[in-house]
């Protein structure tokens, strides 16, 4: 987990606590919206994924779903669109480097609108 969070803080420029919450929110979203078998492969490639998901903020004032709901949650953490996209790219890149490449492609293809952020 630390390797991914350090990578995000260095490359995206957000603090570690925000990075943990953002990655947790992204992983929780993928877990709820993506194909379960492929998301399991992705989570296995991210050490500490379950702990990050547990740190993700839950709910929100508006109940928008899908990618827009995730974006809304991340913006609520104070992230801008560039930071959201870069955090998602770093997270997916890290998982891809750790063996979840094919799973990521299938997850992205299965969730409408996700490809524009990763």
Task: Give CATH for domain 2-116.
Answer: 1.10.490
Q: pTM surpassing 0.75?
A: yes
- One digit per residue, the tens of pLDDT, for the chain of length 118 reads 999 999 999 999 999 999 999 999 999 999 999 999 999 999 999 999 999 999 888 765 455 788 999 999 999 999 999 999 999 999 999 999 999 989 999 999 999 989 988 8
Q: How far apart are CA 114 and CA 69, in angstroms?
A: 12
How far the first Cα of the chain sits from its last, in Å, is 19
> How many CB atoms lie under 10 A from the CB of residue 6?
12
């Amino acid at each position: 987990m630390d390797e991914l969070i350090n990578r995000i803080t260095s490359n995206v420029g957000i603090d570690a606590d925000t990075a943990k919450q953002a990655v947790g929110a992204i992983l929780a979203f993928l877990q709820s919206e993506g194909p379960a078998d492929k998301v399991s492969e992705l989570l296995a490639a991210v050490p500490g994924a379950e702990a990050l998901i547990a740190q993700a903020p839950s709910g929100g004032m508006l109940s928008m779903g899908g990618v827009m709901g995730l974006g809304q949650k991340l913006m609520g953490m104070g992230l801008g669109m560039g930071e959201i996209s870069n955090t998602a790219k770093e997270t997916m890149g890290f998982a891809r480097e750790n063996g979840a490449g094919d799973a990521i492609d299938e997850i992205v293809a299965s969730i409408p609108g996700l490809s524009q952020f990763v």
